[in-house]
Amino acid sequence: MASSDIEAATALKVQGNKAFAQHEWPTAVDFYTQAIEKYDREPSFFSNRAQAQIKLEAYGFAIADASKALELDPAYTKAYWRRALANTAILNYKDALKDFKAVVKREPGNRDAKVKLADCEKLVRRLEFEKAIEVGDPPSAFEDLDIDSMAVDTGYDGVRLENEMTQEFIDDMIERFKKGKRIPRKYVFQIIKAVKDLVYAEPTMVEVGVEQGKKLTVCGDTHGQFFDLLEIFRLNGYPSDTHSYLFNGDFVDRGSWSTEIALVLYAYKWLRPNGIFLNRGNHETDDMNKVYGFEGECKAKYNETVFKVFSESFSALPLATLIGNKYLVLHGGLFSDDNTSLDDIRKLDRHNQRQPGQQGLMMEMLWTDPQTEPGRGPSKRGVGLQFGPDVTKRFCERNGLEAIIRSHEVRMEGYEVEHDGRCITVFSAPKYCDTTENKGAFINVGPELKLDFQVFEAVPHPDIKPMAYAQNSILSMM
């Protein structure tokens, strides 16, 4: 290997570090990749790329890169650290535990590593305990709730909620949330119960059209970024009789206003059952909520029962929406089997399987991602799989679709059209987690079923950090 190649590779790494410092994660990955192509024996190139992959939530790729760095240098502490974080992010706590132990062993004075190790040990114990006491089919969390007889807190000075949702209540609730106030628990339970019943009765794949004089807006992940949700409504109009919305999963977790987003979307769903559509995302699941903040937020702002009823309502949500027989909207993406059809989605009994698990149709709908290469590949996340343009083309042709619309991944411009126009990603959480310099986007669809992409910037919010309610500190370093 010529020394000029090593110098060139090192220069590319430096450029990658600069891009990383500016929160341009995809650019950083590109530079580190170019460095590795020039010289593939330097562990820091792989370890740095692992860190950028973590920022992109490509945890599977991060684990592979950290492992390669350790293959080149088994004493490389940073690589153990990054592999541990990536494994934690996809809930592989036992693997993470080994790596946190390796860090502490090599750096006994590293306080942060000791805290992470202790947190990881607690998580492993908690999960083992929960598994041990698990009952086959837990009773409904609503069973022991006598919502009618609950009192409204005496200090509540807002609009009252009776047996029907009103626009007046929603407007008042939004204003309260903007000021950091809450609504009474009785109303929270009323809203969740009403919406759980509504969405439970909907098919697994909801089928909608767009009538003359109306429009439908498709939004991607909002991830607890309540003030950015309000910016969408300010720019594009609030839900109304002529303007419906479809939110494509991941309303909650990470951002610290997840309960506010969920309650506003649910309130609109109750007011206009045919004007708001909600697809389930991979973060409307118990495993993710326990780690990424939603469970902790429910407990901090309301109580544990609120989380339990939200969880039950999430498992009732539809998994996909078909717009005008032309666009299939689902959170993650396509399937491991080319023979999977829209009819298979229609027939999927989501009520028998509350959580998506590690395999099967539901997991794939919530977790998969597109790739540029043909065929299928291992998931960059470490969960699910990736599908190429040929897979998308076959699926669309066999099912008479123009394209699939999915979310699930940050896109720096807020959206991306891939796979020869047949795979569209829309992401609606700008400046994601306050650290990624991405824009947000949403898609307006009119009666002609043409897609009109709108891009928007993040707006200021009160100084509460993302993951403020996470149950442990493990992910705070990511």
* Nearest alpha carbon to residue 288 among 205, 367, 368: 367
Q: What is the largest CA-CA distance in the chain?
A: 79
**Burial letters for 199-225: b for 16+ Cβ neighbours within 10 Å, e otherwise?**
beeebbbbebebeeebbbbbbbbbbbb
Residue 3: exposure state from Cβ atoms within 10 A (0-12, 13-18, ≥19): exposed
List 223, 243, 283, 419, catalytic entry: 283
Structure tokens at 181: 């106030």
CA–CA dist 343, 87 (Å, integer): 35
Torsion of CA 108, 109, 112, 118, to 10 degrees: 40
C-alpha of 334 from chain center: 17
223 assigned to active site: no
Torsion of CA 407, 408, 414, 420, to 10 degrees: -60
Confirm if 20 and 51 have CB atoms less than 8 A apart: yes
Structure tokens at 85: 């974080």
Residue 266's CB: how many other CB atoms inside 10 A? 25
- Residues contacting residue 218 through CB under 8 Å, at least 6 positions apart: 245, 246, 248, 323, 329, 405, 426, 442, 443, 445
Ramachandran area for residue 240 (φ above 0: left; ψ -120 to 50: alpha; else beta): beta
CA–CA dist 286, 291 (Å, integer): 9
| Helix residue ranges, H only, 247-293 | 258-271, 286-292
Confirm if 41 and 13 have CB atoms less than 8 A apart: no
Give the DSSP H/E element, type plus range, for residue 454.
strand 451-456
**Burial letters for 296-316: b for 16+ Cβ neighbours within 10 Å, e otherwise?**
bbbeebbeebbbbbbbbbbbb
CA–CA dist 234, 226 (Å, integer): 12
Inter-CA distances, 260 with 76, 206, 255, 334, 381, Å:
43, 25, 11, 31, 28
- Residues contacting residue 11 through CB under 8 Å, at least 6 positions apart: none
Q: Which residues are catalytic?
A: 283
